Amino acid sequence: MSSRSEAFDAFVESEKGILNIVRALDLYAVHLIAQIRGQEVPRDTVEAIMSMRKICGLNISNASLTDVELSEIKRNDYFKEVGEQIVISTHSALEHYLQSKFEEYYRYHLKGLPQSVVDESTKQVCRFRSLDDVKKAFTRVLGIHLPSFEIDFDFNPESNFNPGSSWDAILQLNKKRHDVVHNKHDEESFRIETLIDSWFPFEFTRMWVTRFDHFFDHQLYDGGWFKGDRFTQEYFRKAKSAGVDLIQPPSIQKG
């Protein structure tokens, strides 16, 4: 990928697919809770989920559940297994976005050079084997410090996913994906027991990607449109303290 918006558009398509998995788990949860309570399945809720007008409220909070209902859900491996697939898919979408976005920005820095040179250079530079490789490439080549990019996001204390920062959230997502894929049971990984444990990693990721894409597109393509904005100042303060300065493409560098 190399043209503007392709990386983000691909992420949005992945996001739609993940939401379909979320809704499938929602429907299962709605039916299970109705069964536990000995009630009819709420058809309006089911129809709203199936028509993609809403998600189940259990993604946001467990407050509506009794202790017995919550225990029943936590004992049900289906929530863990499908939740893990949501987390893996979320990680894959983020990983693909970051790698594609790096390539997009890198090619932009090389504009004006022969296409064969751009293609060969991109092929040599874009060799990522891990999240750490991606982080180092953004820092060393583009001057973009991923750990300094912090968004405002309210993590739910009910959820087992409670990172201390945006970068910590990405690291936790990366570790969970590794542990699930390799069938490891590391106590340091957050547990997936209920809907909120898979929903919040997904919701955080799509908000982080959206803000990242918007922010750095303006910084690189429009020469710093957000100058003076509190969010911008905070990012550059953190990045500068880490010894990182944004590298502008030659065509728009200030003289």
Q: How far apart are CA 200 and CA 204, in angstroms?
A: 6
Q: How far apart are CA 133 and CA 117, in angstroms?
A: 23
Return the structure tokens found at 129.
């084997």
Nearest to 151 by CA among 54, 242, 60, 238: 238
Q: How far apart are CA 235 and CA 145, in angstroms?
A: 9
Q: What is the pLDDT of residues 49-78, one digit of tens each?
A: 988 777 888 888 888 899 999 999 999 999
Nearest to 205 by CA among 80, 89, 49, 83: 89
| Tokens 């990607």, located at residue | 209
Per-residue confidence (pLDDT) for residue 252, from 0 to 100:
41
DSSP state for residue 191 in the 8-state scheme: P
Mutual angle of helices 77-109 and 67-75, in 10-degree steps: 70
Q: How far apart are CA 33 and CA 53, in angstroms?
A: 20
Alpha helices, DSSP H, located in the chain: 6-37, 43-50, 67-75, 77-109, 115-125, 131-137, 166-181, 195-221, 230-241
Q: Do 191 and 197 meet the contact criterion of CB atoms below 8 Å apart? A: yes
Q: Which residue ranges in the chain fall short of pLDDT 50? A: 1-2, 251-255
Q: How far apart are CA 209 and CA 185, in angstroms?
A: 28
Written as one letter, the residue type at 38 is G
Per-residue confidence (pLDDT) for residue 216, from 0 to 100:
92
